Amino acid sequence: MSHADLTPPYGGRLTGRQPAGTERAAALERAARLPRLRLSERSLCDAVCLGSGAYSPLAGFMGRADYAAVLDDMRLTSGLIWPIPITLPVTVDEWASLRGTDAVALEAPGGSLLGILDVDDVFETQPQREAEIVYRTTDPAHPGVAAVLSAPPLALAGPMTLLDVPDFGFPDEYRTPAQTRAVFQDLGWKTVVGFQTRNPVHRAHEYLQKVALETVDGLLLHPLVGLTKDDDIPADVRMTCYRTLLAKYYPPRRVVLSIFPAAMRYAGPREAVLHAIARKNYGCSHFIVGRDHAGVGSYYGTFDAQRMFDDIEDELGISILRFDNASWCNVCESMVTDKTCPHGAGDRVTLSGTKVREMLRSGRRPPPEFSRPEVADILIAAMARKGETASAG
């Protein structure tokens, strides 16, 4: 089986650049002579996604023409659909210190070398307009809007070279798109469904994944581990949940657990499109979009993200699996959605996120129809540790 059996990358090829051998050594020598720019956590995530090929066909941070085209038409200047600007904000002082250079060495937030950006443009962004178009709101209480409005007013653009990749704390689960494609090839998969998550997998998620697995060769469980909101469950806790769940409840050669090193933007429908494009680059032929995908608060309608694909799915070249809310029905004695069950809400096991957090904080497991007990125990222990730390502080 060849890579050609898998769905092609978005735009036809992976554009990430990670040199090896003598080419990498020469790039490291070059980086040592360049002025350095320290990235924020968000820009670090974007740089890794660009350099690894996850954001193909982008080869680097967007210039002004692509930025304008994405805001005006949700497309790149090449004509390809692209939903969200991927820019590198810099302060006026930072740009003043870099002025005159045609390249900069990019540093991770901790100061380690990440890569090189060959600068071919610097321009002023339009934060208010970007927020209104991408997030459908300019409310600074929205975390994605807050990030856009608080970012520096200038953006550097140009192709980038990734020299050192942080594994985000999960060396066994970090893979580039080229590497996931190689894994799928070794497993003999041709059709792969991707599942995006920034939460522990509960029974409804498990149901959706397994329904999808009935129709494809394999599942890429692809949790986002980059920058998230402070009140989201930490990535290390979530990864423990995923490993535990997969070891006991999933067939081992039908699922690959790999991390997605992106930052969450909470941009709802537009971010759902970005997530689908990235998973196509990782080798997925199908992508699950459930309720309120990439949403936050009440900024987006429950199924706005699914409707976003109605006119663009064929052009994107990835099959979108649209799922309704799933839950356990006590009458059917199985996981159901409104599409498969005639019974009302009173017959179903549904819990709000607030209620689940209350139960976990008090050391009580949610019903097994809602969450696997092993997952609940991991979350209970994590919340207990968090409470002890807060008390000690």
Asked if 46 and 151 sit in the same domain, the reply is yes
Asked if 309 and 212 sit in the same domain, the reply is yes
Confidence band of 230 (pLDDT split at 50, 70, 90):
confident
Q: How many domains does the chain have?
A: 2
Asked if 147 and 185 sit in the same domain, the reply is no
Asked if 205 and 351 sit in the same domain, the reply is yes
Confidence band of 99 (pLDDT split at 50, 70, 90):
confident
269 located within any domain: yes
The 10s digit of each residue's pLDDT in 39-58 is: 999 999 999 999 999 999 99
State the pLDDT at residue 2: 46
The residue from 162, 189, 223 where one domain ends is 162
> Which residue in the list 199, 254, 291, 365 is annotated as catalytic?
199
The residue from 108, 136, 162 where one domain ends is 162
The 10s digit of each residue's pLDDT in 260-312 is: 999 999 999 999 999 999 999 999 999 999 999 999 999 999 999 999 999 99
172 located within any domain: no
Question: Angle 294-46-152 (CA atoms, 0-180°, nearest 5)?
Answer: 95
The 10s digit of each residue's pLDDT in 115-159 is: 999 999 999 999 999 999 999 999 999 999 999 999 998 999 999
User: If we measure between CA atoms, which residue out of 119, 131, 115 comes closest to residue 95?
Assistant: 119
The answer for residues whose C-beta is within 8 angstroms of residue 357's C-beta and 6 or more apart is 383
Token readout for 233 is 């469950």
171 located within any domain: no
204 located within any domain: yes
State the pLDDT at residue 284: 98
CB atoms within 10 A of CB 129: 14
81 SS3 class: strand
The 10s digit of each residue's pLDDT in 361-393 is: 999 999 999 999 999 999 999 999 887 654 445
d(CA 30, CA 104): 10
Asked if 287 and 263 sit in the same domain, the reply is yes
The residue from 162, 193, 210 where one domain ends is 162
Bridge partner residues of 308 (DSSP): none
| CATH code of the domain in which 360 resides | 3.40.50.620
Asked if 73 and 193 sit in the same domain, the reply is no
Domain of residue 85 covers 3-162
168 located within any domain: no
Asked if 41 and 144 sit in the same domain, the reply is yes
Q: In this structure, is the dihedral angle defined by the CA atoms of residues 149, 74, 308 and 45, taken in order, positive or negative?
A: negative
Is 198 annotated in the active site? yes
State the pLDDT at residue 4: 54
Report the chain's mean pLDDT, rounded to a whole number. 95
Does position 1 have pLDDT exceeding 50, yes or no? no
State the pLDDT at residue 390: 47
Asked if 153 and 267 sit in the same domain, the reply is no
Asked if 115 and 191 sit in the same domain, the reply is no
Is 199 annotated in the active site? yes
User: If we measure between CA atoms, which residue out of 76, 80, 133, 125 comes closest to residue 271?
Assistant: 133
Asked if 104 and 230 sit in the same domain, the reply is no
> Which residue in the list 42, 198, 265, 372 is annotated as catalytic?
198
Q: In this structure, is the dihedral angle defined by the CA atoms of residues 387, 257, 375 and 273, taken in order, positive or negative?
A: positive
Asked if 232 and 269 sit in the same domain, the reply is yes
Asked if 143 and 198 sit in the same domain, the reply is no
169 located within any domain: no
Token readout for 221 is 């469980």
Token readout for 199 is 């939460």
List, in sequence order, every beta strand (DSSP E) within the chain. Answer: 36-38, 60-61, 88-90, 103-107, 113-118, 121-124, 154-162, 192-197, 218-223, 255-257, 286-289, 319-322, 327-329, 334-336, 348-349
